[in-house]
Amino acid sequence: MRLSLPPRTRPTFTGRLRDARTVTLLGHWLGFAVAVCFVTGLVSHFLQQPPGPLADRLPSRPYWGYRLTQGLHVAAGIAAIPLLLAKLWAVYPRLFTWPAVRSVRHALERLAVGVLVAAGIFELFSGLLNTFQWYPWPFSFVPVHYAVAWILAGALLLHAAVQWPVIHEHLTRRSPGTLALPAEDGPDRRGLLAAVAAGAGAVTLTTAGQSVAALGPLNLFAPRSPADGPQGLPVNRTAAAAAVTEASLATWRLHVTGPRPYSVTLEELRSMPQHEVTLPLACVEGWSRSVRWTGVRVRDLLDRAGAGPDSACRVVSLESAGAYRVTRMGRTYAQDPLSLLALRLNGEPLSLDHGRPARVIAPNRPGVLQTKWVSRLEAL
Ligand SMILES: Nc1nc2c(c(=O)[nH]1)N[C@H]1C(S)=C(S)[C@@H](COP(=O)(O)O)O[C@H]1N2
Ligand SMILES: [Mo]
């Protein structure tokens, strides 16, 4: 245990760049990135798993809302990684503080910092691995990432409160009469901060192309290029993984339940009024892409089953197992004229991997809920 080394063998640190000012500035940036992640993560959580009474009130507009919040979530998380590494570099000498524990209060403070660091590392790296769809752990990503986010937020607030005097002092200090940084901020500190900012900016710009089309050409490191995949759109769960085959489609009909249940063939669906919308598919795993969808309005299908203008629905996929086989579409989404049971993507019939014969596409809705291979709509 390093913390119990006898005094003479403890390392000493002399670099002035690790002083309170650097630590505070880096903490300020990192805190901002973590706050963006936390807020956008909450948005994502509530759109995916709204508490009961809210399910029918979620906003289906702006149609690009989820794309924006999810893109920010992933970009801020990626930017936070170099910031966290720089911050840990700046503070790790404090691990060797001697005496290791001065008082009960000091012990609690150190414990809180330990929780903060562990939760921060866990959130950033589990999120990063999630964008690679790599789950090298035995637990389910979504609930654990969500729960640890609250631990991180609590530990961060506590840390900011305990350190408030230092934060306050270093954030308000300026050279008298000017807005310039204090004279003690020599070229070395400026260089360090500029390097950290450049690193955070570079990793963000070279990955943000996965959700920001204009940054596509700079997309060097993101696991996905949103234009790769059949019909120019990535596939998360393939038809093979979902055990949906051409054969299983041979007898396909869409069943719609409600006061006047009915079922239709694909031909019949194609002869109903078709609508065209351009909507993004915004995947929780970090990529987004806007494409043109053509199909029948969900609300027209529900109407025909005698469901009222306030009805929501349950969407059931042909897929026989899988966490997203059945999803609920609240009233605001089901009644939005942009919500389609899509049959075409960019003018062509859906490929099997994109959900042939029919899939859901709705505005401001997480990708995981844009159900593919739909076989039944149940009016609620
Ligand atoms: N039935 C079903 N639909 C599904 C899924 C699934 O696992 N099963 N995955 C969802 C996820 S996570 C995303 S991001 C989108 C991806 O759609 P795409 O493969 O057409 O790009 O489909 C969604 N629809
Ligand atoms: Mo997804």
104 & 204 share domain: yes
d(CA 304, CA 204): 47
Residue 10 covered by a domain: no
Q: Which atom of ligand 1 is nearest to the CA of 366?
A: 14
114 & 237 share domain: no
130 & 206 share domain: yes
Residue 238 covered by a domain: yes
* Structural domain boundaries, residue 318: 232-379
CA of 236 to the centre of ligand 2 (A): 6
Q: In the listed set 218, 242, 271, which residue is the last one of a domain according to the structure?
A: 218
CA of 54 to the centre of ligand 1 (A): 23
Cβ 317 under 6 angstroms from ligand 1: yes
Residue 237 covered by a domain: yes
Q: In the listed set 161, 196, 218, which residue is the last one of a domain according to the structure?
A: 218
In the beta sheet, which residues pair with residue 361?
A: 340
Region label for 258, one of left (φ > 0), alpha (ψ between -120 and 50) or beta (otherwise):
left
d(CA 343, CA 373): 10
**What is the chain's pLDDT, residue by residue, as a tens digit (380 residues)?**
455 556 556 777 777 888 888 999 999 999 999 999 999 999 999 999 999 889 999 999 999 999 999 999 999 999 999 999 999 999 999 989 889 999 999 999 999 999 999 999 999 999 999 999 888 899 999 999 999 999 999 999 999 999 999 888 887 776 454 445 566 677 888 999 999 999 999 999 999 999 999 999 999 999 888 888 999 999 999 999 999 999 989 999 999 999 999 999 999 999 999 999 999 999 988 899 999 999 999 999 999 999 999 999 999 999 989 999 999 999 999 999 999 999 999 999 999 999 999 999 999 999 999 999 999 999 99
213 & 236 share domain: no
Closest by Cα among 208, 221, 207, 199 to 86: 199
Q: In the listed set 165, 195, 218, which residue is the last one of a domain according to the structure?
A: 218
27 & 166 share domain: yes
Nearest CA owner, ligand 1 atom 24: 371
251 & 336 share domain: yes
Cβ 356 under 6 angstroms from ligand 1: no
Residue 137 covered by a domain: yes
d(CA 121, CA 79): 13
Residue 355: which CATH number? Answer: 3.90.420.10
User: Coil, strand or helix: which one is 37?
Assistant: helix
Question: Which tokens is 176 given?
Answer: 């008298």
Cβ 372 under 6 angstroms from ligand 1: yes
Indicate the number of domains in the chain.
2
Ligand nearest, relative to CA of residue 372: 1
pLDDT tens-digit map of 262-297: 999 999 999 999 999 999 999 988 899 999 999 999
Cβ 232 under 6 angstroms from ligand 1: no
Residue 77 covered by a domain: yes
- pTM > 0.85: yes or no: yes
Phi, psi (degrees; rounded to nearest 5) at 145: -60, -40
34 & 91 share domain: yes
Pocket test for ligand 1, best of 67, 324, 346 (most atoms within 8 A of CB): 324
Residue 6 covered by a domain: no
39 & 113 share domain: yes
Question: Which tokens is 129 given?
Answer: 């691995």
278 & 312 share domain: yes
Residue 98 covered by a domain: yes
Number of alpha carbons in the 13 Å side-chain half-sphere of residue 225:
13
CA of 164 to the centre of ligand 2 (A): 40
Q: Which atom of ligand 1 is nearest to the CA of 233?
A: 21
188 & 245 share domain: no
d(CA 152, CA 86): 18
Residue 108 covered by a domain: yes
90 & 160 share domain: yes
191 & 260 share domain: no
